[in-house]
Structure 1
Amino acid sequence: IIASLCSGLALILVATKSWQDLISFAVLGIVAVLASITYTIGRKPYGYIGLGDISVLIFFGWLGVGGTYYLQTNSIDFPVLLVATA
């Protein structure tokens, strides 16, 4: 866990160009980790009430693909979101 946290922080530090990007990606990373935990754990895990598909679309689609594209190009384009939705 510590190794993945350190490598993720290092990637964010190297790839971001501004403090706003740094904070945004750190917050999105924390939200993604919390979403993965609450997918099956807690009083009402959303993975069991039919919200798993939308979670996958958001975190593996839009945030994963769009975030990776943004880190490499510092921009986001609509065609990228179409690919991320697919």
Structure 2
Amino acid sequence: MTAGLCLISSLAYAQQASGIAGTVRDASGGVLPGVSVEASSPALIERVRVAVTDGEGRYNVVNLPPGTYAVTFTLQGFSTLRREG
């Protein structure tokens, strides 16, 4: 069975390093712990920065320089979700 991931996120726009934070929920609104959240961008020296959601479905990818990012959410048993922009 495959279910989709829903997410609530915010991206702070600034000239300095910032971050992406939010909560990952399933289609019924339940929080999802253990989701791999990958932020990728040419602006990153390492190209990808990874966080994992906590027990309340929250994640925080910190110290991101200005740039355009693709964020991918992955959890076994769920469809992978990718957001760009």
Q: TM-score range by the shorter chain?
A: under 0.3
Structure with greater helix percent: 1
Structure showing the higher strand proportion among its residues = 2
TM-score, with length taken from structure 2? 0.23
RCO higher in 1 or 2 (8 Å CA, sep ≥ 6)? 2
Rg: which structure is higher? 1
TM-score by length of 1: 0.23
